[in-house]
Amino acid sequence: MENVGLLYIAAALLIGLGALGTAIGFGLLGGKFLESAARQPELAPQLQVKMFIVAGLIDAIAMIGVAMGLYILFVVVG
């Protein structure tokens, strides 16, 4: 097929930009969690559960991007 190069760049952008946003988001999330756990250690288990919930939400769009990117790489490009 023609222009396979553009498809590779598309997959790279999908995965890379998703990873960028997710990394910053997780950094902020983890930092806030550590701060609040240091302030009130007795709340740490509850906060940890909530942290994982928010982590799953942040992860979602990036993972969708990764799945689409890998699909493009392996099924569309052939």
Partner 1 sequence: MSAAAELTSQEYIKHHLTNLSVGEGFWSFHIDTIGWSVFLGLVFISIFRSVANKATAGVPGKLQCAVEMVVEFVNHSVTSTFHGKNPLIAPLALTIFVWVLLMNAMDWVPVDLIPWIFAQMGVGYMKAVPTTDINMTLGLAVGVFILIVYYSIKVKGVSGFMKELTTQPFGHWSLYPVNFILEVVTLLARPLSLALRLFGNIYAGELIFLLIATLGFFQLPAHFIWAAFHLLVIPLQAFIFMMLTIVYLSLAHEDH
Residues classed as catalytic: 59
Structural contact between residues 29 and 58, judged by C-beta atoms closer than 8 angstroms: yes
Give the nearest distance from C-beta 62 to partner 1 in angstroms: 8
Note the residues at the interface with partner 1 (CB under 8 A). 52-53, 55-57, 59-60, 63-68, 70-71, 74-75, 78
Give the nearest distance from C-beta 5 to partner 1 in angstroms: 17
